[in-house]
A = this chain, B = another copy of it.
Amino acid sequence: MSVEAKEQAFRDYVKKMSNYGEAIGLMAWDLRTGAPRKGVEQRSEVLGTLSSEVFRMKTSDTMKSFIEDLSEDSIFQQLGDVTKGTLLECKKEYTKLTNVPEEEYSKFVVLTAKAESAWAEAKEKNDFKSFQPYLEEIVAYNRKYVEWVGYEGNKYNTLLDEYEPGLTVDIIDNVFGKLRDEIVPLVKEVTEAKNQPQTEFLFHNFPQKHQEALSKDILKSMQYDFQAGRLDTTVHPFAIGLNPGDVRVTTKYDENDFRTAVFGTIHEGGHALYEQNVDLKYVGTPLCSGTSMGIHESQSLFWENFVGRNRAFWEKNYDLLKSYSPQQFAGIDLDTYYRGINVAGPSFIRIEADEMTYSLHIILRYELEKGLINGDIEVKDLPEAWNDKMEEFLGIRPSTDAEGVLQDVHWSGGSFGYFPSYALGYVYAAQLKTAMDKDIPNFEELLREGNLAPIKEWLTENVHQYGKSKEPLEILKDTTGEGINPTHLINYLKEKYREVYKLS
């Protein structure tokens, strides 16, 4: 068989996997946006059937042969770039999946399914002890996983690599350490500030229909393409890229707090812009998606915070917002509004945290995960360790485990190594903003004019188009000229929150 024919056969095989993945994606979207309750059990079986098929294809002897044949140096050099990247991605996945003993993996799948229910019950009853044995097994599996897959340096590096290739404990310790050291005192400053923002007006009734219309207006102004997507309602908002021509945003509406929908939609819209603008040459390969959790989060957070929580953005859009809920904002001037939506301070629940304190919630989880995987912390000691860190970082101590260690679903699903991406996304976003400022010095003027196209174009050119063909640190290096650097986020937060809280 010629190299061309081999390459084509491999690409066809991968395309088939990708097509199955798209069908799975649509079913997942459907389950979360309105699939009827009584069909869910059977639909889950369909998902299982297709997922097993994809797993089988990823780990099959056919895949093994493709990898062996095409990796041979003389052949590899003749492959197109997209195929090269695809091959490396498939190889990585093959190695990872085949490193795990099949029986252990099956047991783990069953374990996490049970653990999720156990977690939900434990959270509701505020009973960590009932969840503890499940979490112990999950941590034990993750420790074994690291041994199966192997590791360099810190054991936790192997888990980090799943979500943020190239990032290591050494790097993150440094980044998070600096963030923590600077943000903790900033939070204290802000908390003690005399001039607190007015917030009462945030909680007036804002009709859902009007929030929907506003959300669509904003998505359009962000250059989200409604011919390549749609906006639906859900309980836990997400964006999902089925293919670049079909990237769906979901949001939820709280009639007594419009911020949920407005900032949630901007956030998911940021994710969606990434997926809509991946170069079409990657369609049908694993490269046709965001490169990592962290870079993905950098896009959503860029839009949510650097655009959506920017004063200049509301100079343009405050009248529009008011038109959808006039009474609510009567007598509230732009400055009061701007300070209100940027209210910040210590709180227990991560998903309700503000821009300033959010990273601290993540750093806490990172330190605990790292300790668990390396055997420096045991599961039974988690609740206390959690509460101690909350007190250290935010000056508040949870009175129940439900508002402490039990608040997030992630660990019950077996995900370790995922949390850091959230804070890395913030750090990346601030670095991208600094880089963008050089090319677009009139950034705020554009916001004031409502002309967001150049901002979206810059992100497409520097980030979106590459999909998964560049690693996170490569994107960062090419765009900003440096590695990961928390200074930009620190400076941004200090400057912004001292201004919002009138501290300077």
Contact = CB atoms under 8 A, between A and B. Distances in A.
Contacts of A49: 15-16, 19-20
A46 interface: yes
A36 B229 contact: yes
Interface string A113-128: 0000000000000000
Interface stretch (A37-45, A259-267, A309-317, A424-432): A37-45
A27 B19 contact: no
Interface stretch (A238-246, A411-419, A496-504): A238-246
A334 interface: no
A348 interface: no
B230 A42 contact: no
A30 interface: yes
Given A19-B50, A46-B19, A245 B38 contact: yes
Given A36-B230, A227-B37, A43 B27 contact: no
A20 to B, nearest CB: 7
Nearest to A49: B19
Interface in A49-93: 49-50
A227 B225 CA distance: 32
Contact of A225 (B38, B229, B245, B246): B38
B22 A42 contact: yes
Nearest to A229: B36
A112 to B, nearest CB: 22
Given A20-B49, A22-B46, A246 B35 contact: yes
A473 interface: no
Nearest to A232: B34
Contacts of A492: none
A45 B27 CA distance: 16
Contacts of A227: 36-38
A306 interface: no
A172 interface: no
A50 B23 CA distance: 9
Number of copies: 2
Interface in A6-26: 15-16, 19-20, 22-23, 26
A26 B25 CA distance: 11
Name the interface size band of chain A.
Answer: 35 or more
A337 interface: no
A38 B22 CA distance: 15
A46 B26 CA distance: 11
A228 interface: yes
A318 interface: no
- Interface on chain A toward B: helix, strand, loop, or mixed SS? helix
A225 B225 CA distance: 35
Nearest to A41: B245
A324 interface: no
A226 interface: yes
B34 A46 contact: no
Contact of A46 (B23, B30, B248): B23
Contacts of A37: 227-228, 245
Residue with the highest number of chain B CB atoms closer than 10 Å, among A26, A42, A225: A42
A43 B30 CA distance: 15
Interface string A220-258: 000001111110000000000011111010000000000
A283 interface: yes
Contacts of A23: 23, 27, 46, 50
B226 A283 contact: no
Given A23-B50, A46-B22, A39 B228 contact: yes
Contacts of A242: 39, 43
A245 B34 contact: no
B45 A19 contact: yes
A37 B38 CA distance: 30
Given A36-B230, A36-B246, A39-B242, 11 more contacts: A15-B49, A19-B46, A19-B49, A22-B43, A23-B27, A23-B46, A23-B50, A26-B26, A36-B229, A38-B227, A39-B244
Q: Which 7 A-B pairs have the closest CB atoms?
A: A39-B246, A38-B245, A39-B245, A38-B228, A19-B49, A42-B243, A19-B46
Interface of A: 15-16, 19-20, 22-23, 26-27, 30, 34-43, 45-46, 49-50, 225-230, 242-246, 248, 283
6 contacts: A23-B23, A23-B27, A26-B27, A36-B227, A36-B228, A38-B245
